[in-house]
Amino acid sequence: MSRANDSLSVILSALADPSRRAILAQLSQGPATVNEIADRFEITLPSISKHLKVLEGARLISRGREAQWRPCQLESAPLKQVDRWLQKYRKFWEGSFDRMDAYLNELTRSQVKGRKE
């Protein structure tokens, strides 16, 4: 396995948890402190910290330093890596949707034709 695939596995593993995806969604609105992130969840502060460590380990977030605060912010590079990987499959999905659209159009034409007869 190449290093690129290994980092992709770490990123996808981090994204597999709904709480971590919700944290990323929150951070997409701008940086936030751990307490600001925790305020939106009904889980303990230590649990939030664990989620943040996983996200930081996957390089999905970074933590800065501002006096006594350590604001977290979203990092785009790992998400771009996932997008590049998904791009290979996007062509397949779009082709599948195009074929389904053509099939549904044919069904509609057949039903309209059948009503006229």
Backbone angles phi, psi at 73, to 5 degrees: -140, 150
Residue spans per domain, the chain? 3-75
Residue 104: predicted pLDDT: 84
SS3 labels along the chain: CCHHHHHHHHHHHHHCCHHHHHHHHHHCCCCECHHHHHCCCCCCHHHHHHHHHHHHHCCCEEECCECCECCEEECCHHHHHHHHHHHHHHHHHHHHHHHHHHHHHHHHHHHHHHHHC
Q: State the residue for tokens 């350590």.
A: 70
Would the CA dihedral through 69, 73, 77, 79 be positive or negative?
A: positive
> Is residue 34 predicted with pLDDT exceeding 60?
yes
Predicted TM-score (pTM) of the model is 0.73
> Is residue 16 predicted with pLDDT exceeding 70?
yes
> Is residue 117 predicted with pLDDT exceeding 70?
no
CATH class of 3-75: mainly alpha
pLDDT tens for each residue of 38-55: 999 999 999 999 999 999
pLDDT tens for each residue of 74-105: 999 999 999 999 988 887 777 777 777 778 88
